[in-house]
Structure 1
Amino acid sequence: MQSLLLDRQLGKVSCKNFERTSTEALYYNLEAQEYPKFSTKKKTVGSINALDFDKINHRFLLSGGADSSIKIFKVGQVKADIIGDLNKSNGGHEYGVTDVKWWPFDMGMFLSSSYDSELKVWDTNTMDEAFSFNLNSKVHCFDISETGDHSLIASGADSSHVRILDLKTTSAVHSLTGHNGGITSVKWSPNNPNELATGSSEGEVRIWDIRRTDSCLVQLDLYRTDESAPISSNDSKKVGVLKSSVKAHARAVNGLSWFPSGKSLITTGNDEKIRVWDLEPIGAVNTLLNFGPFVRNKFPSYKTILLSPISETELQYLWYPSDNGEILVFRIIDGKLVARLRKNLQENSRSCCLTYSGNNSATYFSGTVDGKINIWGPKDERIIEEDEDDFF
């Protein structure tokens, strides 16, 4: 590091490269963090199913719990204060919250979904409901395109149809049909506003172009490992009648993450596998990248898997919440395990969700089944004095 600092002072290393190299080093010095601490005054009862940091100030953390609560925390260096709180007693969801997300372009709005079949839009300033979509089945997840080209929300529910909702018209504008089983994961492409990836409870992963009449571009096949191999297809046109023979995983697919290029996709499923797909060849191929034997994923609920921002490091890292209480960090280029993070040897609470705090911090927040929010990041040698507030 000292030689790097000297090279920066001498002008041999650009500011951008210096920052990327410095951030890269943080990923090899990760541990559980003690700060900030979250107040116990309004602790979530049950699991924290979803977390999301705002993309503008990187200071406000949104959480959704199995007790129907939605909380907004203002996150500082020492503690995180609750500045907004919704639950079924003050106009929130009736049942457990399954997903929460900030509107990417304006912190004045956020969205949430729940087992009560509702996907709600909220006004941040007043904590009032602005609009609600009723999907008539339990909503597992949803996603917002970050390209800014449209205001469409993709949602996944117990229904085999992927519902596309439009915030401008406050209506369901499109349904994507073809899956067998409920939709357990959805993710918009990072650079193509019309392209969407979805996973089902039957192990299927489909890539869609929402502009087309025949919307499905490709169905991923775990046995197709070479682009010269024939592309498998389903003979049945009846959704839900015959099970698909073309699967990406042997069991439910509950996590998706695109590469920033939009040319590759990462999937995970209840078969306890992580797979990387090359989408450039026609029909797509399974790259057979191996992530080792430590992946644990038996619960069908939606799982957040995150790639570190490509702009912050030379290599990218995959953050994976394993069911045994560990947070696994892999080097995505070769699947090498960089870190197995755990609070302590006795801590085995399953993490349900992850979010990145941003700003080259290499610091990630996870929510657990016992209602705690854990912080993971580079070793901090600062001495911080605690306030006398009640923390857990």
Structure 2
Amino acid sequence: MLQQFHALDLDADVSLPSLHRSGYSALALDAIERRYLLAGTHSGHLGIYDVQSLALPLPLLAQIRARGEYGHQALINDVQWFPLDTGLFVSSDMRGLVKVWDTNRAVVVEQFAGFRHVFGHGICVTPSGSCLVAIAGGDKHVHLCDIRSGARTHSLAGHTRAVLALQWSPANEHLLVTGSRDNTIRLWDVRKARAMLTQLDMGNDDQASLHARTSAPAHSGHVNGLTFSSDGQTLVSTCCVARQIHTWDMRTLRRHLTVFSGIKPSQAHTRRMRILESAGRPYLLYPNASDLVLYDLWDGGAPVRTMRGHYHPISCLVADEAAPYVITGSGDPELLTWRPYRPEGPAEARDEFQLPHHLPIALDDEDNWSEDEEPAPAPRAGGNGR
């Protein structure tokens, strides 16, 4: 499968009209059917696309406008489907609001407010039935809220500056990992009164025991990106200011001594990325300014693949390894679709290779492009592979 991702290229034949001209800031693909794409924009609009059905002439299934009865009024920084079904989703914005939505009715059924900014959130369903959302709310605490009861359960204290990134472990539903402006990555067991377990230490190349470290930087600057491998054994963290990508073995808490080159500086508050796996070997799909690059997490070095198409820095992405395809969003008014390039063959072969999706046609409203406005430039064609 990864060999197919090595051949990723911009699919100029798939047109993804804009949900709004402000561009995209958050994307999420449902984990159950891999069919429904949730999108948030810089202006606060939300949309749900059907990315697999050829039968629907308008695969934009729902559109929630900014500043409406339920809509956001600021940049949407994160969106996430409820893990067990697509009946609920959660969105958060830079004005400090976290909204829980009923998908079918497109209404807010719960809201958490009072945060300075929300840089990101993460949902976890525990075996006991609790549904917790962890919130990076623009301060040095991590806030935990129960979606079912609507209550704030508690806060995790330990960081000394604002929390920018967080991820629940896919291997342990009680383990939360957070990254902060204080240059640290902290591990928490949310069941415990003294929840902080330890900090990851960028200088640690020995077997680490699981005990609290009080002064262990994970990066030379702000930690603004975290992502796990699907088995939870590998964690990738980023520091865009220092142009660092670190890879951690979560069994030993050691940092792999892998150096990545070609990383461009970025002022992004948060960095979205994705680990792809093939035959036990991990690769990182990474937004490198306006380029989409693929790194070998074991070998490091320069990207094994560089793809160009966006004019503005990429802010969000989703990947479906089974299809396979990648969809990326940026400050550009259109989403871009990437899929493995294959030379054209017989018509039957081309038909078999077509991804089962026509992606959305924008609904007409006052916020879309008008005839008097200058159209956006077309995406730059082609990938630049190595």
TM-score > 0.5 by shorter chain: yes
SS at match of 1:111: strand
**Using a 3 Å threshold, how does the CA distance of structure 1 residues 89 and 334 change in structure 2: closer, same or farther?**
same
Structure 1 gap ranges (5+): 1-22, 235-244
- Distance in 2 separating the partners of 1:146 and 1:173: 14
SS at match of 1:364: strand
Tell me what 2:382 maps to.
Answer: none
Tell me what 1:275 maps to.
Answer: 246
SS at match of 1:62: strand
TM-score (norm 2): 0.82
- Distance in 2 separating the partners of 1:39 and 1:136: 33
Tell me what 2:35 maps to.
Answer: 59
Tell me what 2:255 maps to.
Answer: 286
Q: How many pairs align?
A: 346
**Using a 3 Å threshold, how does the CA distance of structure 1 residues 378 and 206 change in structure 2: closer, same or farther?**
same
**Using a 3 Å threshold, how does the CA distance of structure 1 residues 100 and 216 change in structure 2: closer, same or farther?**
same
SS at match of 1:27: helix
Tell me what 1:266 maps to.
Answer: 236
> Contact (CA 8 Å) 2:125, 2:132: kept in 1 or not?
no
**Using a 3 Å threshold, how does the CA distance of structure 1 residues 205 and 230 change in structure 2: closer, same or farther?**
closer
Return the offset for 1:175: 0.6
1:303 aligns with 2:271: yes
- Distance in 1 separating the partners of 2:90 and 2:112: 11
> Contact (CA 8 Å) 2:295, 2:304: kept in 1 or not?
yes
SS at match of 2:304: strand
SS at match of 2:119: strand
**Range 136-145 or range 326-335, more displaced:** 326-335
**Using a 3 Å threshold, how does the CA distance of structure 1 residues 101 and 178 change in structure 2: closer, same or farther?**
same
Structure 2 gap ranges (5+): 345-349, 363-374, 379-386
Return the offset for 1:184: 0.4
1:157 aligns with 2:123: no
Match of 1:250 among 220, 224, 228: 220
Tell me what 2:93 maps to.
Answer: 114
Match of 1:378 among 313, 316, 340: 340
- Distance in 1 separating the partners of 2:197 and 2:58: 44
**Using a 3 Å threshold, how does the CA distance of structure 1 residues 70 and 275 change in structure 2: closer, same or farther?**
same
Return the offset for 1:101: 0.8
> Contact (CA 8 Å) 1:36, 1:75: kept in 2 or not?
no
Matches within 5 A, 1:81-230: 81-86=59-64, 87-145=66-124, 150-227=130-207
**Using a 3 Å threshold, how does the CA distance of structure 1 residues 166 and 146 change in structure 2: closer, same or farther?**
closer
Alpha-carbon RMSD across the aligned residues, in angstroms, is 2.7
Return the offset for 1:231: 8.4
SS at match of 1:280: coil
Return the offset for 1:145: 2.5
Matches within 5 A, 1:311-350: 313-323=279-289, 325-335=290-300, 337-343=303-309, 347-350=310-313
- Distance in 2 separating the partners of 1:102 and 1:184: 20
Return the offset for 1:139: 0.6
Tell me what 1:73 maps to.
Answer: 49
The percent identity for this pair of structures is 26
Tell me what 1:13 maps to.
Answer: none
**Range 135-144 or range 220-229, more displaced:** 220-229
**Using a 3 Å threshold, how does the CA distance of structure 1 residues 57 and 260 change in structure 2: closer, same or farther?**
closer
TM-score (norm 1): 0.81
- Distance in 2 separating the partners of 1:189 and 1:123: 26
Return the offset for 1:126: 1.1
Match of 1:44 among 12, 16, 20: 20
Q: Residue 328 of structure 2 aligns to which amino acid in structure 1?
A: S
1:362 aligns with 2:341: no
SS at match of 2:2: helix
SS at match of 1:145: strand
**Range 222-231 or range 92-101, more displaced:** 222-231
- Distance in 2 separating the partners of 1:171 and 1:99: 20
> Contact (CA 8 Å) 1:145, 1:189: kept in 2 or not?
no
**Using a 3 Å threshold, how does the CA distance of structure 1 residues 305 and 148 change in structure 2: closer, same or farther?**
farther
The superposition leaves residues 70-125 of structure 1 with CA deviations (integer Å, 9 ceiling, x where unpaired) of 11112247787322111213420121111001112111111100112111001111
Relative CO higher for 1 or 2, CA cutoff 8 Å, sep ≥ 6?
Answer: 2
